Amino acid sequence: MSSGEAFRLAREEGRGCLVGYLPVGYPTVDGSIEAMKAITEGTRGQGVDLVEIGAPYSDPMMDGPTIQHAANRALERRVRTSDVMRAVEAVTNHGTPAVVMTYWNLVEAYGVERYARDLSSAGGSGLITPDLTPDEAEEWMAASDQYDLDRIFLIAPSSTDERLAMTTDACRGWVYATSIMGVTGARDEASSQAPELVRRAKQVSDLPMGVGLGVSNGDQAAQVCSYADGVIVGSALVNRLIDNERTGGSDLTELRRVADDLAEGVRRRG
């Protein structure tokens, strides 16, 4: 199943699509894969619809302290792109589609065509590329076409109407709308800029709109899905793994509980 198909199926059920982010390698590669499987299940078999698998990066431009902490721990354990591909294969074999969120020089270092080939072979749906813009993505456009992979570019409140049209036109599958300016992190309130950004984007594109940055609970997820097609949650999930690190535990019950709350939220849709 493609990532766009996950949005379509959620829409057919009259609800928002829930995208859950976790980085590969935190607390370990195997531990991160188990955590990814856990968020697809929750405690009642009703978790995230799409897993966003993070490729740890040493100098992220938009990751807040929570995700940076997890990424740094993963890099200390020498996580590699091969581990990312293994995580993709494990998640998709578990029955949930997966996309990779990666900074572009990791793809270039691996080889763009090789990356697309291996991601497709692992069952991955596509890439979220936060630091790659469509006007600089000629090689990725060709490789993603060759291997039928989704291209998820980012739009932001600062995007001009011209930039919105160009970016959404280059996307395939869905569009990632960053609801605030700045870095990621769970927040007490959802962004007030997101509804206007989604409204503007929907004027120039029929693709589903997923809103990310800041959502931490089911109530906020419901609020976002009242105007967007889906919600992306990362820090609220990673925080549960950080709690385990602090206490020396490995129980994923609390992580599953957060997934339950978010899954219930997208079904309320504000």
* Cβ proximity of 3 and 150 under 8 Å: yes
Strands 50-54 vs 209-212: parallel, antiparallel or unpaired: unpaired
Torsion 128-132-135-138 (CA) sign: negative
Residues serving a catalytic function are 52, 63
* Cβ proximity of 191 and 213 under 8 Å: yes
Buried b / exposed e over 170-183, threshold 16 CB at 10 Å, is bbbbbbbbbbbeeb
In the prediction, which pLDDT does 270 show? 55
Cα distance between residue 14 and residue 92, in whole Å: 24
Question: Quick check: helix, strand or coil at residue 224?
Answer: helix
Cα within 13 Å of Cα(214), Cβ side: 20
In the prediction, which pLDDT does 191 show? 57
Ranges of residues in the chain whose predicted pLDDT is under 70 = 60-63, 180-191, 269-270
In the prediction, which pLDDT does 214 show? 82
For 79, residues 6+ apart whose C-beta sits below 8 A from its C-beta are 24, 25, 29, 56
In the prediction, which pLDDT does 62 show? 65
